[in-house]
Amino acid sequence: MIKEDDIRVVGGREKNLKGVHVTIPKKQITVFVGVSGSGKSALVFDTIAAESQRQFNESYSSFIRNRLPHYGQPEVDAIEHLPAVIVMNQKRIGGNARSTVGTVTDIYALLRLLFSRIGTPFVGYSDVFSFNNPQGMCPDCEGLGKVKDINVDRLIDREKSLNEGAILFPTFMPGDVRWKRYVCTGLFDNDKKLKDYTDEEMDTLLHKSGFKPPNPTEGWPPTSLYEGVIPRIKRTYLYKDSRDAKRYQEAIDRIVSEKLCASCCGGRLNPRVLSCKINGKSIADCAGMQVSELIRFIRSIREPDVQTVTDEIVKRLGNLLAVGLGYLSMNRETPSLSGGESQRIKMVRQLGSSLSDLLYIFDEPSIGLHPHDVNTINRLLKQLRDKGNTVLIVEHDPDVIQIADYVVEMGPRAGTHGGEVVFQGSFHELLSSPTLTAGYLNRHLNFKREIRKPGGWLAIEHATMNNLKDISVRIPAGVMTAVTGVAGSGKSTLIRQVLPRYYPEAIFIDQGAIHASNRSNLATYTDIFDTIRTLFAKENRVNSSLFSFNSEGACPHCKGLGIISTDLAFMDTVSSICEACEGKRYTEQVLSYRFRGKSISDVLAMTVEDALNMFHEKEIETPLKRLKEVGLGYLTLGQPLSTLSGGELQRAKLAAELEGEGNLYVLDEPTTGLHMSDVELLIGLMNRLVERGSTLIVIEHNLQVIRQADWMIDLGPGAGEEGGQVMFEGIPKDSIDCSASITGRYLGL
Ligand code: ADP
Ligand code: ADP
Ligand code: ZN
Ligand code: ZN
């Protein structure tokens, strides 16, 4: 069935790829499957997308290109018939508080147009309806809808006196200059606990300003005026971008909270603009409505003059509904969106375009979606294809895999044991092939046989945050609980935002990057590197610091990184292997020191499995064994953390936690990036955390995981305002009989 213009990748060798050859049909949906670490991203993102990007960048001037000797050229012999690529990844849209769902989808701009045309009274052209425009913004919050406010309870400790350090801010501690500005005023009894202050004393301490203290004590600068703690902190730390503000950012974040702007009530606009209405609603009212409600409102406008505008708004809102984002409002700030939500918003932006002949690449579009919502995503993916585009999807969810016109399976395993194409063909051919993925697709999943008995209960009572409808739930201690429900039903709100208020000791494990320097690797992360350095030092009678990446023993050219990175202002960073040390990171002299016949660089190049044969010291062996147990035996000790795949990183973290002391763990969609066989491994790890005595809460859509939980809390019934209620609490299997639980319906299939 091979066609003349198929995309052909010849000799792909990025990361772990072993000279991969693959043919991808155009104008079809191709899904890439395979275990985590098998090389899917290496092929799809680091080779295909990167090459398209590179060709695009070729259009830059030679001035820039000449500076780029090896500009992002993927390790591949050739890629033929490659269309222009649009990558839809999980990178959050981010932005700042001025970037909202409305602004990034252009729906807010359309609303502005609508209000400028038919709003009454008429207040001006469409740009005055923008909260980013000085003419339109609320002057008190400058268009942000909220203002910074100092949380007094976090600022002072009422159980203490001034002398005991009642003001909980670094520069106001006993002995500090600012502290003297209160204890030397003669206004307060410096040994009186703040809880015993009269209302007036408290008001003076916190708020009063601009007068001379009548009876100051020694140490008071004679000409100075008194200034209360709050105005003082606001003046020095909140309103200025001063060096102090930066230096004390952490302390400031602790005492500052945001509250709704009292002038515009969160509407972000000035009173004149807010007074302009259509059918009794201002543009801010519209921006505060959920998509589903806003559609109803826009449809109710029956002015022939603006029909093209209203039609366009309804169409775009319809696309948001279609990708399962009907619960969002236009004023939701983009930095608060999850990775999955961000990807779906990007998708909506593309749906508006009428371009064809493009190559769209998706990174697990099912993330964050309940099985119930996956069908709508599938429909959109097919729409993109039917418009004449080629669609590539990296995906693990069987419900998405089954829409593939063509499947490519990478494997057979991960890392050095992977990097090959083990299958390519239609979905049906896959089902009858002997691959790992086919094995799982053909298997029936079972519920857990033996449900664990809880060792007690953690309670959350009357939770009302975001869309939660005054709910109370009990979470069983010492067992595994799955928190389920459609996207937007309130799972993250309940577990990520409310739960920590009750249980601050909860440890959250996600797939996000470990905050570490670019010198961090598996050996430093697991703490075995210190021991390895000591062994080398003793053996060679030198100082162990010589073997550190940031010592004089490191290659001076690349400063111990092994690679040279060139940072280009408006493009991705380009890296190449350091020519001085050939990527070995150390000076010649350091490389000459041996331990059991190996240099330090040899050791860093070893896989975990090989290192287990060489090191039998307990401090090294135990963490290495853990890594092997979680399926990471194929990684090398020196592999930078930043190059691990999402699933690998997550398992490295879990391996570290298995050594830890935590009691309460929360995993948020831990199956992201994981093949069904990895999910099995993950379930094994989660069980070990529980057997060790921990309480485990998993936010999940993956039915394989939910079936293996001891307890389930299902939120719903819908998303946003239509959600926020508890639909089911109990043993997962019993949810099948609960007609209110959508999740139960899918578990029963
Ligand atoms: P997937 O997308 O299938 O989960 P990736 O393509 O992200 O996997 O990773 C493939 C494998 O290549 C992983 O085991 C990863 O650790 C490994 N890897 C990453 N960078 C390099 C590199 N520079 N050299 C060799 N292997 C690498
Ligand atoms: P889930 O985790 O089940 O997908 P969420 O808890 O993220 O659901 O969302 C529940 C509701 O709360 C949605 O209507 C969502 O838009 C809203 N919401 C969540 N986080 C925020 C936030 N940071 N600011 C405003 N609204 C939010
Ligand atoms: Zn305001
Ligand atoms: Zn070097």
CATH number for the domain spanning 160: value is: 1.10.8.280
Predicted local distance difference test score (pLDDT) of residue 69: 42
Any domain includes 652: no
Residue 324 CB–ligand 2 contact under 6 Å = no
Domain boundary among 293, 319, 334: 334
Residue 648 CB–ligand 1 contact under 6 Å = yes
User: What 3 state SS string does 130-145 have?
Assistant: CCCCCCCECCCCCCCC
Any domain includes 539: yes
Any domain includes 654: no
* Closest C-alpha residue for ligand 1 atom 1: 37
* pLDDT tens digit sequence for 45-99: 999 999 988 887 776 666 655 554 444 678 999 999 999 998 887 777 777 888 9
Give me the residue label for tokens 């390790």: 75
Q: Which domain holds residue 329?
A: 101-134+272-334
Query: How far is it, in rounded angstroms, from Cα 202 to Cα 354?
Result: 64
CA 699 / ligand 2 centre spacing (Å):
14
Ligand 2 atom nearest to CA at 486:
3
* 323 shares a domain with 349: no
Residue 41 CB–ligand 1 contact under 6 Å = yes
Predicted local distance difference test score (pLDDT) of residue 570: 47
Predicted local distance difference test score (pLDDT) of residue 645: 76
Residue that wins the pLDDT comparison between 672 and 700:
700
CATH number at residue 566: 1.20.1580.10
Q: Confidence class of residue 515 from pLDDT cuts 50, 70 and 90?
A: low
* 199 shares a domain with 182: yes
* 598 shares a domain with 493: no
Give the contacts of 344 (CB within 8 A, at least 6 positions apart).
323, 324, 325, 365, 377
Residue 16: pLDDT above 70? yes
Token pair listed for 552 = 């004089």
Least confident of 421-435, 450-464, 659-673: 659-673
Half-sphere exposure of 525 (CA within 13 A, CB side): 31
Ligand closest to Cα of 12 equals 1
Give the contacts of 196 (CB within 8 A, at least 6 positions apart).
none
- Could you report the predicted ipTM of this complex, rounded to two decimals? 0.93
> What's at 715, amino acid-wise?
L
Domain boundary among 442, 471, 487: 442
CA 353 / ligand 4 centre spacing (Å):
47
Predicted local distance difference test score (pLDDT) of residue 241: 59
* 413 shares a domain with 381: yes
Any domain includes 493: yes
* 640 shares a domain with 537: yes
Domain boundary among 226, 260, 294: 260
* pLDDT tens digit sequence for 221-262: 888 899 999 999 888 877 655 666 677 877 888 888 888 999
Does residue 54 contact residue 73 with C-beta atoms inside 8 Å?
yes
Q: How many domains does the chain have?
A: 5
Any domain includes 237: yes
Which of 331, 338, 341, 466 maximizes ligand 2 atoms within 8 Å of its Cβ, making it the mutation to test the pocket?
Answer: 466
Residue 16 CB–ligand 1 contact under 6 Å = yes
* 526 shares a domain with 632: yes
Residue 331 CB–ligand 2 contact under 6 Å = no
Predicted local distance difference test score (pLDDT) of residue 389: 94
Which percentage of the chain shows pLDDT scores above 90?
A: 65
Residue 488 CB–ligand 2 contact under 6 Å = yes
Residue 725 CB–ligand 2 contact under 6 Å = no
* 78 shares a domain with 168: no
Any domain includes 180: yes
Residue 34: pLDDT above 70? yes
* pLDDT tens digit sequence for 497-510: 999 989 989 998 87
| 659-665 average pLDDT score | 84
| 591-604 average pLDDT score | 96
CA 577 / ligand 4 centre spacing (Å):
8
Residue 651 CB–ligand 1 contact under 6 Å = no
Any domain includes 26: yes
Which of 9, 16, 608, 637 maximizes ligand 1 atoms within 8 Å of its Cβ, making it the mutation to test the pocket?
Answer: 16
Residue that wins the pLDDT comparison between 319 and 661:
319
* 528 shares a domain with 639: yes
At residue 676, the 3 state secondary structure works out as: helix
Predicted local distance difference test score (pLDDT) of residue 106: 92
Chain-centroid distance of CA 551 in Å reads 34
Query: How far is it, in rounded angstroms, from Cα 367 to Cα 135?
Result: 40
Calculate the average pLDDT of the chain: 90
Query: How far is it, in rounded angstroms, from Cα 344 to Cα 183?
Result: 56
Predicted local distance difference test score (pLDDT) of residue 187: 94
CATH number at residue 353: 3.40.50.300
Residue 452: pLDDT above 80? yes
* 251 shares a domain with 164: yes
* pLDDT tens digit sequence for 174-193: 988 899 999 999 999 999 99
Least confident of 420-434, 508-522, 598-612, 648-662: 508-522
Residue 645 CB–ligand 1 contact under 6 Å = yes
Does residue 607 contact residue 628 with C-beta atoms inside 8 Å?
no
Strand ordering across the sheet containing 406-411: 85-88, 359-363, 390-394, 29-33, 406-411, 420-425
* 678 shares a domain with 618: no
Give me the residue label for tokens 């700030």: 333
Predicted local distance difference test score (pLDDT) of residue 738: 94
Any domain includes 140: no
Predicted local distance difference test score (pLDDT) of residue 338: 80
Ligand closest to Cα of 411 equals 1
Does residue 669 contact residue 483 with C-beta atoms inside 8 Å?
no
- Angle formed by the axes of helices 371-386 and 339-351, nearest 10°: 30
* 618 shares a domain with 571: yes
Ligand 1 atom nearest to CA at 43:
6
Residue 487 CB–ligand 2 contact under 6 Å = yes
* 409 shares a domain with 342: yes
Predicted local distance difference test score (pLDDT) of residue 288: 96
Q: What angle do CA 726, 731, 736 make, to 5 degrees?
A: 75
| 589-608 average pLDDT score | 95
Predicted local distance difference test score (pLDDT) of residue 70: 44
Residue 464: pLDDT above 80? yes
Q: Which among 652, 655, 650 is positioned nearest to 669, based on CA atoms?
A: 650
Count of beta carbons in the 10 Å neighbourhood of residue 539: 12
* pLDDT tens digit sequence for 381-428: 998 999 999 999 999 999 999 999 999 999 999 988 999 999 999 999
